[in-house]
Structure 1
Amino acid sequence: MVALVPTETHGDERGALLNFIEAQRAAIRRSLHGLTEEQAASRPSASELSLSGLVKHVAEVELNWLRLAQRRPNERQRTGETWGDGFRLVDEETIPEVVGFWAGVAKETEEFVRSVPSLDDTFPLPEAPWFPKDGQVSIRWMLLHLVQEAARHAGHADIVRESLDGKGSYELIAAEQGRG
């Protein structure tokens, strides 16, 4: 069973970075394997995190970064939504809907990254207390940040899933491939 990021990157940095992001996306999606909506929404630990909420969060974070890099408004931001609403399904959202949304974001991210002239191209950060004043980051930095963000939450997803039914990532890889 393969658990490593594919080594086939077509010899380019963009491909390698996109493969690492996709590996982390897959780990998060895999944490949902075989669960009901109710199980995926449960919070089996002291944390407020649920698996369905993590999927929604990482999808929306990726879209936010993509829109910043594209210098476009994020059409998905909702008024009246609380910070916590970004970590749980609301208004009849479903796991298939959120996973499908994330797949669209992932496709758009890849198309955008492949279209930019250079990974050294920069874009401005919005004003926020957690960003440097007049900050700029490169497309490369954004991709590395997306790896970091998704990997952090893939680890959270591992712990939440193990708390639900004891299944770890290797068991889920095997189950997903029909070997477990």
Structure 2
Amino acid sequence: MMAQVPVDIPGDERGTLLSFVEAQRAALRASVEGLDEEQAASRPSASELSLSGLLKHAAEVELGWLRMAQRRPNERQRDETTYGDSFRLVEDESIPSALAFWDGIRQETEAFVTTLPSLDESFPLPPAPWFPKDTKVSMRWMLLHLVEEFARHAGHADVIRESLDGTKAMG
């Protein structure tokens, strides 16, 4: 279940940040390799998290940050009544559909970031108790935040996968 780091790592800041985001995406995606839908949806640890739910959540988080940076409405915006659905596959969703959804977002994020004049471009954070009031962040900050978000959940995924079948991400 070893996630592959891209062989061609660009040396510039933008390429390096995109490579780190992709490495953490790959770690999450690798966590479901060889599992069926039931295994990927199971919760073998004390946590409420599942591998398929983590995939969906990470994809929706990336979409949310991308839409904020683009200053566009988020077509999958969650509220208090639908927040839990961001951590589990529902209705006709499957691992392949969650991965395909994330592929589309990945392509859109990379296209957006590579066409920015500068990573210093900024956008406002939404009002939330966990964000300082009237704060803007740079595109660089957003990419680093995605690395942080995906790495946290890749760690969760490592524990869940090892609890499921003993598969270890690193060895």
TM range (shorter): over 0.9
How far the C-alpha of 1:92 sits from its partner, in A, is 2.0
Q: Letter of the aligned partner of 2:155 in structure 1?
A: G
Q: 1:12-27 counterparts in 2 under 5 A?
A: 12-27=12-27
Instruction: Give ranges in structure 1 of 5+ residues lacking alignment.
Output: 172-180
Aligned to 1:83: 83
Change (3 A) 1:78 1:124: closer
Q: Letter of the aligned partner of 1:87 in structure 2?
A: F
Q: Letter of the aligned partner of 2:89 in structure 1?
A: L
How far the C-alpha of 1:33 sits from its partner, in A, is 0.7
Aligned to 1:141: 141
* Alpha-carbon distance in 1 for matches of 2:119, 2:78: 30
- Alignment deviations for residues 125-180 of structure 1 (CA, whole Å, 9 cap, x no partner): 11111111001000000000000000000000000000000000135xxxxxxxxx
Q: 1:42-81 counterparts in 2 under 5 A?
A: 42-77=42-77, 81=81
How far the C-alpha of 1:9 sits from its partner, in A, is 2.9
Q: Secondary structure at the match of 1:142?
A: helix
Aligned to 1:132: 132
Number of positions where the alignment pairs a residue of Structure 1 with one of Structure 2: 171
Change (3 A) 1:65 1:90: same
TM-score normalised by length of structure 1: 0.89
Q: Letter of the aligned partner of 2:134 in structure 1?
A: D
The reply on whether 1:151 has 2:151 as its aligned counterpart is yes
* Alpha-carbon distance in 1 for matches of 2:71, 2:79: 20
* Alpha-carbon distance in 2 for matches of 1:57, 1:133: 25
Change (3 A) 1:3 1:90: closer
**Identity value in percent:** 69
Q: Letter of the aligned partner of 2:40 in structure 1?
A: A
Aligned to 1:160: 160
Superposed CA RMSD in Å reads 1.9
Q: Letter of the aligned partner of 1:146 in structure 2?
A: L
Q: Letter of the aligned partner of 2:97 in structure 1?
A: E
- Alignment deviations for residues 60-93 of structure 1 (CA, whole Å, 9 cap, x no partner): 0000000000000011236784221110011221
* Alpha-carbon distance in 2 for matches of 1:34, 1:4: 16
Q: Letter of the aligned partner of 1:159 in structure 2?
A: V
Q: 1:4-19 counterparts in 2 under 5 A?
A: 5-6=5-6, 8-19=8-19
* Alpha-carbon distance in 2 for matches of 1:129, 1:59: 23
- Alignment deviations for residues 38-71 of structure 1 (CA, whole Å, 9 cap, x no partner): 0000000110000000000000000000000000
Q: Letter of the aligned partner of 2:153 in structure 1?
A: H
Q: Letter of the aligned partner of 1:103 in structure 2?
A: D
How far the C-alpha of 1:8 sits from its partner, in A, is 3.5
